[in-house]
Amino acid sequence: MSNSGATGGMRIAYAYDLEDAPGKTIVGVDATYLPSEITPPHTHKNGPIMVYVLSGQVRVGLNGEEPKIECAGDSHYEPADTHNTISENPSRTESCRFFFTEVLDTAIWKAQGMEALFKLD
């Protein structure tokens, strides 16, 4: 995530091995975008993610489709390898906060940590 050198950031809220899905881990991430902050185009190559907007707005464009603005209370699902062409806070004055979960291979999570969550283009 980037803008003029300042970042809101990401914090791992949890990471649990899934007993009913051996070899899989679910990771929860609390993310904040400062005003006008963006994440460059990227993919979540290691697993699907579910996103829930907690506050503010986030502009999301997936697989080259027309971007849409999601507001607090909105959510969406992205299968693994979905290309995030746009992910940004459209506000110049307000931060936005969202939470996402990703299910990925436990071995990849343990080996790569946060780097396993997404890959920049």
Angstrom distance (rounded) from CA 99 to CA 108: 21
Q: What residue ranges do the domains of the chain occupy?
A: 9-120
CA angle, residues 101, 32, 88, in degrees to nearest 5 = 90
Chain segment 59-93, per-residue pLDDT in tens: 999 999 999 999 999 999 999 999 999 999 999 99
Q: What percent of the chain has pLDDT over 70?
A: 93
Quick check: 43 and 83 in contact, CB under 8 A?
yes
pTM > 0.85: yes or no: yes
Q: Tokens standing for 46?
A: 């290691």
What class has domain 9-120? Answer: mainly beta
Chain segment 4-15, per-residue pLDDT in tens: 334 469 999 999
